[in-house]
Amino acid sequence: MKPNLRKLMPGLLLAFFLSLSGVTGTVRSSASPLNMNHNAAKEVAGEVNQKGLRGDIDRKIKVIPGGQTIGVKVKSAGVLIVGHHLVEVSQQTKTSPGEVCGLQPGDLMISIDGVKLDEVSRVAKIVEHAGKTDAFLSITYKRGGKERVAKLKPAYDRNDKVWRLGLYIRDSAAGVGTLTFYDPNQNVYGALGHVITDMNTGTPIVVGSGHIIQSSVTSISKSQDGDPGEKRATFLKESQVLGNVESNTQFGIFGKMTRNPDHSLYQEPIPVAMGSEVKEGPAQILTVVDGQQVERFNVEIIHVARQPEPATKGMVLRITDTRLIDKTGGIVQGMSGSPIVQNGKLIGAVTHVFVNDPKSGYGCFIEWMLNDSGVLQQNIISPHLKAV
Active site residue ranges: 194, 321, 336
How crowded is residue 90: how many other Cβ atoms within 10 Å of its Cβ? 9
Q: Taking a C-beta distance cutoff of 8 angstroms, is the pair 303, 280 a contact? A: yes
User: Residue 265 and residue 323: Cα distance in Å, rounded?
Assistant: 18
User: Residue 267 and residue 106: Cα distance in Å, rounded?
Assistant: 42
- Characterize the bridge pairing of strands 162-164 and 241-244: unpaired
Strands (E), 126-280: 137-143, 146-152, 155-157, 162-164, 167-183, 188-192, 207-221, 230-235, 241-244, 247-249, 252-256, 270-271
Q: Taking a C-beta distance cutoff of 8 angstroms, is the pair 108, 80 a contact? A: yes
Tell me phi and psi for residue 78, to 5 degrees: 140, -165
* Cα distance between the two ends of the chain: 59
User: Residue 286 and residue 69: Cα distance in Å, rounded?
Assistant: 10
Q: Taking a C-beta distance cutoff of 8 angstroms, is the pair 267, 203 a contact? A: no
Q: What kind and span of H or E run contains 75? A: strand 69-84
How crowded is residue 326: how many other Cβ atoms within 10 Å of its Cβ? 9
User: Residue 360 and residue 316: Cα distance in Å, rounded?
Assistant: 7
